[in-house]
């Protein structure tokens, strides 16, 4: 595995606070869903939910809802992977902000290729590497305590890079500059993210509540396209996933793992101040 010397992983007080947050995080919405099949995610879901999970025996209702929420979040990861393009077993992929590693494991299972995940949470790195070992793929899927703004990997080493709900923690121009450096010519970047709607003005009250809950700073929709273009990453597809993610939040609001932030997401999506986008871009130079 080729790397170069990287700068200190945690470079600012803000990054240290984010690392501390995720090192301490034990949210049941992330843990219980992953326990369904051993694939742990840190993102939301897509698609209509099976309404039958809300009926039936009360003593098994919670387990049914948890399993359905996990099915929806894994479906979201599948949508992302569908857009990485033709990936060969000899290719190498990067998961930027890899969390507990679920999407990386799914990528290896689908493509049979090498996958590297980076996160500034050492606890997440340790957990994800243990999961890779558990699944018998530690020789192909590896997680690193590194900053996705400065990974230390060699230029042009990756066929594709993705971020799944992690870009709201970093400067987009700096991030996409690093991804452009890492991607080979013609390499693919896929981003799924929430972003606020420039048309409605600044952050709405509901979006500000989301920022406060996750200690992040949601970017304006337009900033993604400005930063991509500035770094030779040309969008080839943009999909508004908002209608497809609302059912996930509606079901989660009725679950035992609800955190209280569900109302803010549903309000922001329904009022149009917040969008759930997938952006697919290719490195052109």
Please state, in angstroms and rounded to a whole number, the distance separating the CA atoms of residues 132 and 115.
11
Q: What is the pLDDT of residue 1?
A: 47
CA-to-CA dists, residue 206 to 18, 95, 211, 252, angstroms: 21, 28, 9, 17
Instruction: Give this prediction's pTM.
Output: 0.95
**CA pair distance 230, 234, nearest whole angstrom:** 9
The Cα diameter of the chain in Å comes to: 58
> Which 3 state secondary structure label does DSSP give 180?
helix
Domain range summary for the chain, segments of one domain joined by +: 18-283
pLDDT at 243: 98
> Is residue 3 over pLDDT 70?
no
Consecutive H or E run containing 221: helix 221-230
Cβ-Cβ contacts under 8 Å for 227 (sequence gap 6 or more): 172, 173, 175, 176
Locate 120 and state its tokens: 């500034």
Residues 6+ apart with CB under 8 A from 195: 218, 219, 220, 221, 223, 224, 274, 275, 277
% of the chain beyond a pLDDT of 90: 93
Taking only the tens place, the pLDDT of each residue in 198-228 is: 998 889 999 999 999 999 999 999 999 999 9
Average pLDDT, the chain: 95
Q: Classify 208 in phi/psi space as left (phi over 0), alpha (psi -120 to 50) or beta.
A: alpha
Q: Is the pLDDT of residue 171 over 70?
A: yes
Of 257, 115, 231, 253, which Cα lies nearest the Cα of 173? Answer: 231
Q: What is the pLDDT of residue 10?
A: 96
**What confidence score (pLDDT) does residue 5 get?**
45
What φ, ψ does residue 250 adopt, rounded to 5°?
Answer: -65, -40
With a cut of 80, say whether residue 2 has pLDDT above it: no
Task: Tell me what pLDDT residue 202 has.
Answer: 86
Average pLDDT value for residue range 190-200: 96
> C-alpha angle with apex 155: 174 to 108, nearest 5 degrees?
95
- State the residue for tokens 């590497």: 129
pLDDT in tens, 158-168: 999 999 999 99
pLDDT at 230 (0 to 100): 98
Provide the 10 A C-beta neighbour count for residue 59: 7
Q: How confident is the model over 99-148, as pLDDT tens digits?
A: 999 999 999 999 999 999 999 999 999 999 999 999 999 999 999 999 99
pLDDT value for 73: 98
Class of the 18-283 domain?
alpha beta
| Residues facing 145 on adjacent strands | 119
What tens digit of pLDDT does each residue of 20-43 get?
999 998 888 889 999 999 999 989
The rounded percent of the chain whose pLDDT value lies above 70 is 98
């Amino acid at each position: 595995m080729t790397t170069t010397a990287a700068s200190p992983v945690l470079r600012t007080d803000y990054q240290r606070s984010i690392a501390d947050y995720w090192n301490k995080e034990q949210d049941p919405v992330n843990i219980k869903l992953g326990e369904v099949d051993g694939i742990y995610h840190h993102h939301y879901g897509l698609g209509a939910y099976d309404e039958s999970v809300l009926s039936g025996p009360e003593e098994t209702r919670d387990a049914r809802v948890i399993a359905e929420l996990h099915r929806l979040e894994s479906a979201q990861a599948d949508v992302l992977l569908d857009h990485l393009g033709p990936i060969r077993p000899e290719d190498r992929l990067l998961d930027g902000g890899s969390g507990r590693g679920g999407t990386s494991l799914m990528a290896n299972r689908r493509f049979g290729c090498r996958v590297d995940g980076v996160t500034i949470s050492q606890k997440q790195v340790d957990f994800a590497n243990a999961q890779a070992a558990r699944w018998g793929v530690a020789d192909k899927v590896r997680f690193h305590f590194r900053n996705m703004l400065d990974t230390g990997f060699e230029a042009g080493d990756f066929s594709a890079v993705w971020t799944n709900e992690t870009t709201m923690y970093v400067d987009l121009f700096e991030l996409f500059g690093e991804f452009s450096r890492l991607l080979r010519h013609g390499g693919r970047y896929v981003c799924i993210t929430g972003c606020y709607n420039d048309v409605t003005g600044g952050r709405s009250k509901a979006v500000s509540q989301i920022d406060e809950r996750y200690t992040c700073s949601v970017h304006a929709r337009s900033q993604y396209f400005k930063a991509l273009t500035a770094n030779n990453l040309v969008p080839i597809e943009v999909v508004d996933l908002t209608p497809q993610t609302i059912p996930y939040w509606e079901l989660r609001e009725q679950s035992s793992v609800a955190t209280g932030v569900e109302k803010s997401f549903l309000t922001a999506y329904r009022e149009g101040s917040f969008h759930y986008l997938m952006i697919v871009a290719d490195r052109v130079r």
